[in-house]
A and B are shown apart, each in its own frame.
Chain A
Amino acid sequence: MPRVLARSLRRLTARLAGAVFVLWMVATVTFFAVRLIPGDPAQAVLGGPGSQASPEALAAVTAEYGFDQPVIVQYLAQLGRLATGDLGTSYALNMDVAPLVLSQLGGTLLLAVLALTLAWLIALGLATWSTRGGTVASRVGSSLEIVAAALPHFWLATSLIVVFSIWLGVFPPISTGGVAGLVLPVLTLAIPLAGFLGQVMRESLLSALESPFVLSARARGESERGVRWIHALRHASLPAISLSGWAFGSLISGAVVVETIFARPGLGRTLLNAVTLRDVPVVIGVVMIVAVAYILMTLLTDAASRLVDPRLRLA
Chain B
Amino acid sequence: MQAELATRSRQFTRARRPGAAEAVAGVLALFFLVSAIAPQVLAPGDPLAIHPLSAFTPPNFAHGFGTDESGRDIYTRVVHGTQYSLLIGAAATAIGLSLGILLGTLAGMFGRVVDFTVNRFLEVLFAFPGLLLALLFIVIFGPGVATATIAVGLSTAPGYARIIRAQLRSVRSAAFVEAATVLGRTRWQILLRHILPNTLAPLFVLATLGIGQAIVWAATLSYLGLGAEPPTAEWGAMLSAGRTYITSAWWMSFFPGLFIVLTAVTATVLGRSIDRRMRHA
Contact = CB atoms under 8 A, between A and B. Distances in A.
Contacts of B253: 155, 158-159, 162
Contacts of A294: 126-127, 129
A239 interface: yes
A109 interface: no
Contact of B220 (A22, A239, A257): A257
B124 A196 contact: no
A46 interface: no
Interface stretch (A28-36, A65-73, A92-100): A28-36
Contacts of B225: 276
A127 to B, nearest CB: 12
Among B120, B128, B247, find the residue whose CB has the most chain A CB atoms closer than 10 A: B128
Interface stretch (A6-14, A53-61, A197-205, A302-310): A197-205
Contacts of B247: 166
B163 interface: no
A13 B224 CA distance: 41
A275 B224 CA distance: 10
B136 interface: yes
A35 B91 CA distance: 27
A25 B10 CA distance: 35
A283 B155 CA distance: 16
Contacts of A23: 127
The 5 A-B pairs at the shortest CB distance, nearest first, are namely A249-B129, A253-B130, A155-B257, A150-B264, A196-B3
A200 B257 contact: no
A203 B136 contact: no
Among A33, A146, A197, find the residue whose CB has the most chain B CB atoms closer than 10 A: A146
Contacts of B250: 162, 166
Contact of A22 (B6, B127, B132): B127
Given A152-B216, A152-B219, A260-B224, A287 B131 contact: no
A159 B124 contact: no
Contacts of A152: 216, 219-220, 223, 257, 260-261, 264
A26 B127 contact: yes
B123 interface: yes
A37 B142 CA distance: 9
8 contacts: A37-B141, A146-B265, A149-B268, A152-B261, A154-B219, A154-B220, A207-B10, A253-B132
Interface of B: 2-4, 6-7, 10-11, 21, 120-121, 123-124, 126-132, 135-136, 138-142, 212, 216, 219-220, 223-226, 236, 239, 242-243, 246-247, 250, 253-254, 256-258, 260-261, 264-265, 268-269
Contact of B254 (A29, A143, A159): A159
A21 B127 CA distance: 12
B203 to A, nearest CB: 21
A214 B64 CA distance: 53
Contact of B139 (A22, A207, A278): A278
A183 to B, nearest CB: 18
Interface string A12-54: 0000001001110110011001101100000000001000000
A6 B128 CA distance: 33
Contacts of A153: 220
A161 interface: yes
A199 B129 contact: no
B218 to A, nearest CB: 10
Given A152-B260, A159-B254, 9 more contacts: A26-B127, A146-B268, A154-B236, A154-B257, A158-B242, A250-B130, A275-B138, A280-B139, A290-B128
A253 B127 contact: no
A118 interface: no
A256 B135 contact: yes
**Interface of chain A, helix or strand or loop or mixed?**
helix
Given A254-B130, A275-B138, A290-B132, A29 B124 contact: yes
Interface string A229-257: 00000000001000100111110111011
Contact of A155 (B2, B10, B131, B261): B261
A155 B260 contact: yes
Given A26-B124, A149-B268, A158-B253, A246 B220 contact: no
B124 A239 contact: no
Nearest to A162: B250
A254 B6 CA distance: 21
A63 interface: no
Contacts of B257: 152, 154-155, 158-159
A254 B224 CA distance: 12
Given A199-B3, A200-B6, A257 B129 contact: no
A147 B120 contact: no
A147 B140 contact: no
Interface string A150-179: 111111001101100010000000000000
A17 to B, nearest CB: 12
B268 A162 contact: no
A30 B139 CA distance: 11
A87 to B, nearest CB: 15
A34 B129 CA distance: 19
A154 B246 contact: no
Nearest to B265: A150
A250 B268 CA distance: 19
A239 B140 CA distance: 36
